[in-house]
Structure 1
Amino acid sequence: MTPGSESQDLEAARQTTIISTRTTTTIGAWNVRTMFEKGKTAQVAAEMRNNKLTLLGISESRWTGSGQRRLATGEMLLFSGHEEEDAPHTLGVALMLSTTAQKALIGWEAHGPRILTATFRTKIRRINMDVIRKVFLETNT
């Protein structure tokens, strides 16, 4: 064993692939209507665990700003909303990751209150996941 090989082995052990030909990855999408309520994040995380989801795309989170939060139960929440000061609690998207998905996450980027992108490590090539909130425009005829 060479002096640097031990740290390389640890790094290789930490890197996990989320999608391969031998694993099943379950991905869900949920319009939660709002996560701007007490206890709503814990409820969404519990539903994610109950349904055995690896990734959960969330629309209408209604959080402002962008960032990431690690929940006490181990899930990670990536979110993107309005960036303006005194912005209304409308729109917003999020991506909730299981511990397996967190290890495979290469990076993510917020693109405003409707789009969040994340890149995951896979066996063959990188997978880009875009969480895009659908916009329904009302028209008067």
Structure 2
Amino acid sequence: MKPEMELLWRLYEEDRTFSKHHEQQRTATSGLLVTISAALIAFTAIDQKLEGADVLAGALLIILGLFGAIFTHKQYERSRLHLNRSYAYFDAMNKAIEGVDLEALRRKASEKNEADFPISSKYKLSTLWIILHYVILASGFLVTGAAI
């Protein structure tokens, strides 16, 4: 492999790895926040009534939901940064390879995926993750409001 192609390939792999790392951090953090939130909701429901003592749990849910939404959005932004860099390296490699149009292959695969999944392919996965944290945030407001 030519040194230029070797460099592009290594840079491509590195940024793909960083992108995956940000997604794994988002997944782990979201899972932890959902678990803690579920425990807080269970704690508020244990006596089957919401009262002053549950305000703290509601406030914690608000904090967890807000943090989760911001953290998820930031991790998505960082992941996209590394993906966009990797796409730039991919494009440079594509231009250097004669006889094969990698971009056309990628486009064809994307079109097939959109045809196979016409509804879900329209939504960004990051939006669904952020909505999850907004649900936690909203539950915090509901618990706090009902407990006051």
Quick check: TM above 0.5?
no
Structure with the bigger percentage of strand:
1
With the shorter chain as reference, the TM-score category is under 0.3
Task: Give the structure, 1 or 2, with the largest relative contact order (CA under 8 Å, sep 6 or more).
Answer: 2
Structure with the bigger percentage of helix:
2
Query: Larger Cα Rg: Structure 1 or Structure 2?
Result: 2
Instruction: Compute the TM-score of the two structures, normalised by the length of structure 1.
Output: 0.26
